[in-house]
Structure formats: structure tokens, C-alpha cells
């Protein structure tokens, strides 16, 4: 009997993923723990390990297929010595050399069940589908949604394999979400304008991560009422302490970055102003008892935010070690859900690129993100006299539903104090 391998849920919120790469071919023998595929989520690319021993009988989902729903059968594993289980039932076999269709879990289970003549009454209740002669490539789930809502599929451009229409495409075309009778009345403008005619252009398909980032940032700016406060901090005391600590920690192989110290400063400010360490929950407000800081890390094709847990109670050297490990895992595409799930506030630092000031977008459901600019030497009051200091602009973006203006101002004041009195970071 064939063993079904399904698209795994690699995080609590994962609904779909991309089958980035197969690491086996049909006929390969695998045992429990062997890596058989690479699955790409909106956060990272992770290896999928086999849970059973057997022979790879059939790969049902083509390499590079995106929008594969969690629970979808992606391959069949034959039990050792069971040659009959390697044969794929006709109901699932692809009809051509094209990429095999993505079937919903319920349909796959039906495909492997004993066939029986369908009652005439059941057939009459099925929605009318497009005739085979001019059939549109569409996933079964998207077809059911289109039938239910009366969507004209001729107006939809599929983003799946070979132009296949998937569920996400239906949500991107509001002009089609109307009864068929009204479709020809007044077509709406497309959601995204095409590139200008006559200009050389290269069109690049967004990765699963890129699409998720675009969607989440759009939702954040349209649904979360942002407001912003900037505090300029004298960075010289922190830079001096960093140099001393790095000299002392060098024999242990530890090197503190400015960002490590700012993560600790952010956590201490949240501890000092707990009303800023919150999350909006509709009719309730969630106030957190510890500061889990998500740090923005740029990688090829997007941005991820691994989390340093309970940063306020960690030493600077521990933060440095955790930060370095998470950054490396992010760039290698090896982050696990435990590395990036959660976070009570975020930090995004563009100072290393020489950016004077940055105003970040909140990462929902969090209510606060801190944007860090470069330290710039400029006139400053030093020891009661006008002098030069390295000044850094720190800008907080706040969710006004959860954090009031006075609370945000108190938080920014606490942050400035932690940066300008860096010995506080050592306790």
C-alpha cells in the first residue's frame, strides 16, 4: 500500500508553500530521516525529511510549484518489496507531460478510494464546468470558489505553474468578483498598472517570500494607524564602551556590534515602559511580560525577522552570539519556525549603509518597530560646551490603537537614556 507524503505545515501560520526542489527521484530508496525535498515558505527554505522507509513511487508535484496547500499529497512512497503500490491510480496520473495538477487533499483521498458509479442526482448537483475543448487551467479549489462567486475566469491571469489559476489569483482581481451578468458593464482598472510601452523591461516573478512581504506591508500601511517619533542620541558613550568590551571579550572570540547593544537598549526601554510592549487585540490589549526582539535581516529575495527571546535578561555577549547565529541561519535559508515566530517589537538598522534616518513600517501584529540611522558627527552640547558628537537618529513607528502618544514619548526617552548611559546595558 502506498504511503502518502503531504505538504507539511512548517509553522503554526503556514497555509501554503513552494516545493522548491526535489532531492530524490522516482525509484530512490529512502529511510526515516532522509531529506527528500526543500520547501520554501514566506520565511525560509527548509528541508523536508521522510518519516517512513520505502521506495519513491511517484512525485506528484513538480519542482518549483508554488501555492501548494498544507496537507496536499506531493509524493507516493511504496513500502519496500511492494511493487503494486508503486503504480499510480489512473485518477491521479497526469494526462500530459505538463506539470501534474495540484489536487486538494480531499480529492486525492477520493482518487485512491475504490471507484464506484456516481449517482445521477449527485452529478446534476455539481457546478457546471468549462467544456474540455476550451478548458482553463485552474486548481480545483479555485474552480469551486469561481463557481460559487460567479467569477469570470477569462479576466484572471494565473500565477501558478504554466499559467494555472490558483486561489490567490481570485483575490487579486476584484473586477472579476461580481456576478457574470455584470462583468461586461464597467470593467475596473487593474490592481497594478503594466509597465510603460516602449521601455526595455525585465519582468521577474516574485518569490513566495516576496509576495508575502508585499501583502503584509500593504496590509500594515492600510490597516494599522502609524505615528512616528524620532529621538537623536549621542552615540559616543556607547561606542567607547563597545571598544572597551570588545577588547576584554576578544580572547573569548566575542565581538559586540552596535546593533547588539541597541537590541539590549530597546529591550530595556520596553521593560522601563511596559505600556509600549503591547499588541492590539481588537477589544483587548495584550501587554507582554518580557521583550522578544525581532531584528530585520536582509537576504536574497527579501527580508526576514528572526527573534531574540527575552533580550532584556540576556547579557550583551549572549545577544551577540544569538544575533550572529540567527543572521547566518537566515542567509543560509536555514531558519526554523522557532527562530522567527513571535516577537513583541522589532528593530531595523540601516546605519551601516550610511542612511541618515529611516522610518520603518510596523510588522503586524506587533505595535512597535524601531528604525536606526547612521551615527553622524555633528555639533552637539558636550560637557556644557558646543562640540562635536556622533549623533544617531532613532525613529519609532507606533500602532496608535495600542500605544498612545505620551507612552511612545516616554519610551523614546527611555531608549535615549539607555543609549547615552550604556553602562545600563551591562546589568
Q: What angle do CA 298, 301, 305 make, to 5 degrees?
A: 40
- Residue 53 CA: distances (Å) to CA of 26, 56, 76: 14, 10, 12
Between strands 385-399 and 226-234, the pairing is antiparallel
Whether residue 309 contacts residue 244, with contact meaning beta carbons closer than 8 Å, is answered with no
Place of cell 566575542: 254
Between strands 302-304 and 345-349, the pairing is unpaired
Cα–Cα dist 82/4, whole Å: 14
> In the numeric block, which cell numbers belong to residue 188?
475596473
Cα–Cα dist 107/141, whole Å: 10
Q: Is 363 exposed, middle or buried (0-12, 13-18, 19+ CB in 10 A)?
A: buried
Tell me which of 110, 272, 400, 427 is the catalytic residue. Answer: 400
Does 400 participate in catalysis according to the annotation?
Answer: yes
* Cis ω for the linkage preceding 424 (within 30 of 0): no
Q: 3-class SS at 60?
A: coil
Four-CA torsion 273, 274, 277, 278, nearest 10 degrees: -130
Cα–Cα dist 423/427, whole Å: 7
The DSSP H or E segment spanning 270 is helix 258-272
Nearest to 4 by CA among 64, 100, 92, 101: 92
**Residues classed as catalytic:** 400
Amino acid at each position: 500500500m502506498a504511503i502518502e507524503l503531504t505538504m507539511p505545515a512548517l509553522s503554526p501560520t503556514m497555509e501554503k508553500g513552494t516545493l522548491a526542489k526535489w532531492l530524490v527521484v522516482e525509484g530512490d530508496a529512502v529511510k526515516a530521516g532522509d531529506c527528500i525535498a526543500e520547501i520554501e515558505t514566506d520565511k525560509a527554505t527548509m528541508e523536508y525529511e521522510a518519516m517512513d522507509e520505502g521506495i519513491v513511487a511517484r512525485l506528484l508535484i513538480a519542482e518549483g510549484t508554488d501555492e501548494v496547500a498544507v496537507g496536499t499529497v506531493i509524493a507516493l512512497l511504496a513500502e519496500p518489496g511492494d511493487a503494486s503500490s508503486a503504480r499510480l491510480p489512473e485518477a491521479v496520473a497526469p494526462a500530459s507531460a505538463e506539470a501534474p495538477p495540484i489536487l486538494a487533499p480531499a480529492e486525492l483521498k477520493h482518487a485512491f478510494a475504490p471507484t464506484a458509479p456516481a449517482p445521477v442526482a449527485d452529478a446534476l448537483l455539481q457546478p457546471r464546468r468549462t467544456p474540455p475543448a476550451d478548458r482553463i487551467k485552474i486548481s480545483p479549489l479555485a474552480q469551486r470558489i469561481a463557481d460559487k462567486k460567479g467569477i469570470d475566469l477569462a479576466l484572471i491571469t494565473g500565477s501558478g505553474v504554466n499559467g494555472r489559476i490558483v486561489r490567490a489569483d481570485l483575490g487579486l482581481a476584484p473586477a472579476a468578483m461580481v456576478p457574470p451578468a455584470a462583468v461586461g458593464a464597467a470593467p475596473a482598472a487593474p490592481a497594478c498598472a503594466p509597465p510603460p510601452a516602449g521601455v526595455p523591461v525585465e519582468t521577474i516573478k516574485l518569490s513566495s517570500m516576496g509576495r508575502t512581504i508585499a501583502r503584509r506591508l500593504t496590509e500594515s500601511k492600510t490597516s494599522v494607524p502609524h505615528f512616528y517619533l524620532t529621538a537623536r542620541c549621542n552615540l559616543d558613550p556607547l561606542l567607547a564602551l563597545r571598544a572597551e568590551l570588545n577588547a576584554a571579550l576578544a580572547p573569548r572570540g566575542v565581538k559586540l556590534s552596535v546593533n547588539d547593544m541597541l537590541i539590549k537598549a530597546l529591550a530595556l526601554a520596553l521593560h522601563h515602559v511596559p505600556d509600549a510592549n503591547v499588541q492590539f487585540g481588537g477589544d483587548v490589549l495584550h501587554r507582554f511580560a518580557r521583550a522578544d526582539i525581532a531584528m530585520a535581516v536582509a537576504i536574497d529575495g527579501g527580508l526576514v525577522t528572526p527573534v531574540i527571546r527575552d533580550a532584556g535578561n540576556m547579557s550583551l555577549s549572549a545577544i551577540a552570539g544569538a544575533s550572529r547565529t540567527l543572521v547566518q541561519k537566515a542567509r543560509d535559508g536555514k531558519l526554523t519556525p522557532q527562530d522567527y515566530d513571535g516577537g513583541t517589537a522589532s528593530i531595523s538598522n540601516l546605519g551601516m549603509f550610511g542612511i541618515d534616518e529611516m522610518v520603518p513600517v510596523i510588522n503586524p501584529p506587533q505595535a512597535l518597530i524601531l528604525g536606526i540611522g547612521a551615527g553622524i558627527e555633528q555639533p552637539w552640547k558636550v560637557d556644557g560646551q558646543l562640540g562635536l558628537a556622533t549623533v544617531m537618529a532613532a525613529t519609532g513607528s507606533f500602532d496608535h490603537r495600542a500605544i498612545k502618544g505620551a507612552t511612545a514619548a516616554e519610551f523614546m526617552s527611555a531608549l535615549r537614556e539607555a543609549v547615552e548611559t550604556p553602562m545600563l546595558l551591562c546589568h
